[in-house]
Structure formats: structure tokens, C-alpha cells
Amino acid sequence: MKIIDLQEEQDLDNQEAGNVIIDFYANWCGPCRALASSFTNISEENHFSDDLTLVKVNIDQHQDLAQKFNVRSLPTIIFTSSGKSLKTKVGSLSKADLITMIKSVYDIK
């Protein structure tokens, strides 16, 4: 799994072709930091191949995207494939629950 910290909205547009998890967060959000740690561990442990990308979106810097995706609470995770939203999860998850959800959404064995 690749992790990309969104710099410009164009970066998100460049990721629409594959399986993309969009993580809306804020630096001041405690549950967001816990979730970020889980994502980092999952990536470092190579649980998923590089055809899965995590795009981190700081809502303080990208309020327009937060509005576009109707983000009301943090953290919000949106699972997409080929630019289409598959599932939205609001709130933090444990590492194990996050792995289970990713496998379920993308039908990974």
C-alpha cells in the first residue's frame, strides 16, 4: 500500500484509476493520529500490494475537498475504486478492524 499526503487536489485526481482509500484528518484530532499510525503499520508490514493507495487529506488545508465529499466528522475514511465511492467509515478503527474492512471492501483474500 502506498501512502500519499495530498498536496493539491490534482494529486487526488491522479489516483482515481485504482483502489484508493481517502483519509480525511486533522493534525489536532487524536483519533486521526491513532488511525494514521494503524495505516503506517499496515503499509510497513506489507499487508496489501502497491495497487492500493492511501491518500491523506488534511481538512484544514483542503476544506473544499472535505465539503465535496460531505465530511462532517473526523476521521472519515472513504474507500473508492476507479473514482467511485464504495464505502464510507466515520471514526477510528483498530489496526485489525482496518485490515478486515479493507479486505472486505476490496474483496481481498
Residues catalogued as catalytic: 29, 32
DSSP-assigned letters across all residues of 69-102: TT--SSSEEEEEETTEEEEEEES---HHHHHHHH
Under DSSP, is residue 16 helix (H, G, I), strand (E, B) or coil?
coil
d(CA 40, CA 1): 9
- In the structure grid, which three cell numbers stand for residue 41, read together? 503499520
